[in-house]
Amino acid sequence: MNYYSLNKKAPNTTFKNAVVKGLAPDKGLYFPKSIMPLSKDFFDNIEQLTNAEIAYETIKQFVLPEIPEVELKNIVEDTLSFEFPIVELNKNISTLELFHGPTMAFKDVGARFMARCLGYFNQDITNEVTVLVATSGDTGGAVANGFLGVKGVNVVILYPSGKVSDIQEKQLTTLGQNITALEVDGVFDDCQDMVKRAFLDEELTNTMQLTSANSINVARWLPQMFYFMFAYKQLKSKYKNIVFSVPSGNFGNICAGMMAQKLGLPIKHFIASNNENNVVTEYLKTECYNPKPSVQTISNAMDVGNPSNFVRIQEIHKNNFKALQDNLSSFSFSDTETKEAMLEIHNDFNYVADPHGAVGYLGAKAYLKGNSNAHCVFLETAHPTKFLDVVENVINKKIELPDQIKSVIHKEKESIKIDTYKGLKKYLLG
């Protein structure tokens, strides 16, 4: 499979180069040259397949032959060492739980898959790769855990000081080994801007191999297709008009769902559920894309003012605004509405949702007002204990900590504070 830059000013490249480089030389995001739909037989018989078999069939055209079949199957099997259950709340709404991995966030799948791909490509290479990643919450912990101890890979995570939850911070600052956390005096967009600037800095790129583990990297982004396949497998026999409501920040997850749709997955529609960072919600109303500084909310992983992956969503729809509008709805909700939704979900369904899942639930409810024959699946992207203070305060109930959280909660945080790009560059060159 070849990949091309969405800026259209760089040569096509291989899966390996797209993974190792992260961004194209013209600083565009990579996109697969072709998307071949899977057979009707695959979807007709999906219930008979294991998750690993489904994932392999979904991803193989984007990776083979650069990672051989046997190796790719091992990578997929190793990546998917946990469950992805559907919990049905009523006849119109279900949630897909994506928090059963090692860091209890949906990003575990992409981070583990990418780490194992990079590990395969690096096995005979002496040069080190530096993975540079900005996080608004869960990406940092998932990447840190996924890449921990991977040969020839150093990971540098930038996160906004005071704007991730305590548990999220512990997950990305306590591992040591080849993982370094840089605590930035700013917001997520400042972290993301520093990462983008580093990729443009020839003094850095001429002296070290930089790559990104944000969802701009194809090996982080594409495995997220698996979630939608797994959900369809569980719901196919019960519901026809399946719609996904995705809590959306950098838009990698919902973009991957649209890729699964291009492969033939019979998804009726998508809902981008936003918090008060509502650039895409406004775009779908006005056709005016207006990035703006991010606003801090209780659903912090979605605090993104200029979502990187939206350009891929436009490419999937051939930059046709009407086609995009037909496939995507978007709604924006305040922190107050999010808290009310968390309480409603707990009281009405005896289910504890994290703030991001609650935003997804609100998006599903908003869509169902005009589409009562749909079955909406909202993605529960992180375990509620990752936002312990908010969740317990809203539902007025203590939540038991799972083992994954207990293992980091009492560890000592280690981070390096920086406030400008100069601080990042000094660290990298040092």
* Strands of the sheet with 2-5, listed across from one edge: 13-14, 2-5, 30-32
Q: Is residue 9 part of a domain?
A: no
pLDDT at 316: 98
C-alpha torsion sign, points 28, 33, 39, 42: negative
CATH classification of the domain holding 390: 3.40.50.1100
What digits encode the pLDDT tens for the residues 354-412? 999 999 999 999 999 999 999 999 999 999 998 988 999 999 999 988 888 888 888 99
Better pLDDT: 303 or 260: 260
Amino acid at site 104: M
pLDDT at 35: 97
Q: Is residue 227 part of a domain?
A: yes
pLDDT at 65: 96
Collapsed DSSP state (helix, strand, coil) of residue 93: strand
Per-residue pLDDT, averaged over 98-103, amounts to 93
Using CA atoms of 187, 190, 192, 196 in order, give the dihedral in degrees to the nearest 10.
180
What digits encode the pLDDT tens for the residues 210-257? 988 888 899 999 999 999 999 999 999 999 899 999 999 889 999 999
Q: Is residue 330 part of a domain?
A: yes
Q: Is residue 182 part of a domain?
A: no
Collapsed DSSP state (helix, strand, coil) of residue 57: helix
Q: Is residue 305 part of a domain?
A: yes
Q: Is residue 239 part of a domain?
A: yes
DSSP class per residue in 263-296: TT----EEEEEESS--HHHHHHHHS---------
- Cβ atoms 119, 265 nearer than 8 A: no
pLDDT at 285: 95
Range of the domain at 368: 82-106+221-402
**123 confidence band (pLDDT: 50, 70, 90):** confident
Amino acid at site 283: Y
**176 confidence band (pLDDT: 50, 70, 90):** confident
**192 confidence band (pLDDT: 50, 70, 90):** confident
Buried b (16+ CB within 10 A) or exposed e, 39-73: eeebbeebeeeebbebbbbbbbebbeebbeeeebb
Q: What is the DSSP letter of 216?
A: T
Per-residue pLDDT, averaged over 414-430, amounts to 94
State the Cα–Cα distance between residues 135 and 304, nearest whole angstrom: 10
Say if residue 65 is preceded by a cis peptide, omega within 30 of 0: yes
Q: Is residue 283 part of a domain?
A: yes
- Cβ atoms 79, 110 nearer than 8 A: no
Q: Is residue 271 part of a domain?
A: yes
Q: What percent of the chain has pLDDT over 70?
A: 99
What digits encode the pLDDT tens for the residues 146-165? 889 888 889 999 999 998 88
pLDDT at 164: 87
pLDDT at 15: 97
pLDDT at 319: 96
Q: What percent of the chain has pLDDT over 90?
A: 76
Overall number of domains in the chain: 1
